[in-house]
Chains A and B, each alone.
Chain A
Amino acid sequence: MKLSVPMPLRLVLLVLGTTAFYMYLGQIVPQKEAHPPPPVLISAEMTTEDLVAVGAELASGKGQCLVGCHTVGQSGPLRYPDLDGIGARAATQIEGLSGLEYLAQSLYEPAAFIVPGFADGMQPIDQPPISLSEDEMKAVIAWLQSLGGTPTVTLDTELGY
Chain B
Amino acid sequence: MNRNRIIFGIGVLAFVSVIATVRLGGFLVDNEYRQPDRQAVALEERGEAELTPRQQGIADEQAADEAEARARPYEEAEYRTVPFVGSRVTVWVLAQLHLLFAAFVLAVPLFAFIIEFVGYVKKEERYNKLAYEFTKLLSVSFSMTATFGAFLTFGLIILYPKFTNYLMHIFSPTFLPYVLLFFLEALFLYSYYYGWGKFGPKMHLFLGFMLNIVGTAIMFIANAWLTFMMSPGKRDDVDGDGVPDFVSAVSESGALLSLRDAFFNFTWMPINIHRIIANVAFGGSIAAAYAAFRYLQAKTDEEKAHFDWMGYVGNFVAIIAFLPLPFAGYYLAAEIYAFSQTLGIQMMGGTFSWLFVIQAALIGNLFLGANYYLWLGMGRMEGGVHFQKFIKWLLIAIALCFAVWATPRYAISSVSEIAAMGGSSHPQLSYLGQMSAKNTAVNILILSTYMSFLLYRRTGRQSVHPHRQLLARAQAIVFSSAAALVIFYGVYGYYVDADVRIRFAIPQVYSVLAALVVITVIDLPLYRNAAQSGETKWGRMPAVSQYALIFIALSFTWLMGLMGYVRSGLRQEWHVYGVILDTSPDAYTPTLGFATQVVSVTVLIFFGLLGVVFWLSSLGGKKDWEPKPVADGRDRLEGGQAA
Query: Which residues of chain A are within 8 angstroms of B293 by Cβ–Cβ distance?
Result: 11
Candidate in B297, B419, B431 with the most chain A CB atoms within 10 angstroms: B419
Q: Given the known inter-chain contacts A22-B362, A79-B498, A119-B499, please indicate yes or no for A27 contacting B596, CB distance below 8 A.
A: yes
**Beta-carbon contacts of A14-52 to B below 8 Å, as 1s and 0s?**
111011101101110111111110000000000000000
Residue numbers in A under 8 Å from B502 (CB-CB): 119
B345–A64 CB distance below 8 A: yes
Q: A33 touching B591 by the CB < 8 A rule?
A: yes
Chain B positions 407-434 with a Cβ under 8 Å from a chain A Cβ: 410-412, 415, 418-419, 422-425, 427, 431, 434
Name B343's closest neighbour in chain A (CB-CB): A129
Q: Is B516 an interface residue (CB 8 A)?
A: no
User: Are A30 and B587 also in contact (CB < 8 A) when A14-B547, A60-B419, A79-B498 are?
Assistant: no
CB–CB A71/B422 < 8 A: yes
**In the complex, are the beta carbons of B341 and A123 less than 8 A apart?**
yes
B358 touches A22 (CB 8 A): yes
> Is there an interface contact between B418 and A23, defined as CB atoms closer than 8 Å?
no
Task: State the CA gap A66–B599 with chains docked (Å).
Answer: 30
A77 at the interface (CB under 8 A from B): yes
Q: How far is the CA of A49 from the CA of B296 in the complex (A)?
A: 72
A19 cross-chain contacts in B, Cβ below 8 A: 554, 558, 600, 603-604
Q: Mark B442-456, 1 if CB is under 8 A from A, else 0.
A: 000000000000000
Q: What A residues does B434 contact at CB under 8 A?
A: 77
| Number of residues on chain A facing chain B (CB within 8 A) | 53
A114-127 CB mask vs B (1 if < 8 Å, else 0) is: 00011111110001
Interface: A104 (CB within 8 A): no
Q: How far is the CA of A87 from the CA of B431 in the complex (A)?
A: 28
> Judging by beta carbons under 8 Å apart, are A66 and B418 in contact?
yes
Within 8 A of B (CB), among A61-118: 61, 64, 66-74, 76-80, 84, 111, 117-118
Which residue of chain A has the shortest Cβ distance to B497 in the bound complex? A117
Is B494 close to A, CB under 8 A?
yes
Which residues of chain B come closer than 8 Å to A60, judged between CB atoms?
415, 418-419
Whether B206 sits at the interface, judged by CB under 8 Å, is no
Instruction: Check B501 for interface membership: any CB of A closer than 8 A.
Output: yes
Task: For B345, give its contact among A68, A72, A76 (CB under 8 Å).
Answer: A68
* Contact between chains at A14 and B422 (CB < 8 Å): no
Which residues of chain B come closer than 8 Å to A119, judged between CB atoms? 498-499, 502
Q: Is the CB of B350 within 8 A of A34?
A: yes
Q: A20: which B residues are within 8 A, CB to CB?
A: 600
Distance A140 CA – B578 CA, assembled complex (angstroms): 21
In the assembly, what is the distance between CA of A69 and CA of B410, in Å?
Answer: 10
Report the Cα distance A158→B419, complex, angstroms. 29
B422 contact set on A, CB distance < 8 A: 71-74, 84
Q: A11-B293, A74-B423 are in contact. Are A129 and B589 (CB under 8 A)?
A: no
Residues of B within 8 A of A (CB): 243, 252, 293, 296-297, 337, 340-343, 345-346, 348-351, 354, 357-358, 361-362, 410-412, 415, 418-419, 422-425, 427, 431, 434, 436, 493-494, 496-499, 501-502, 547, 550-551, 554-555, 558, 572-574, 577-579, 587-593, 595-597, 599-600, 603-604, 607
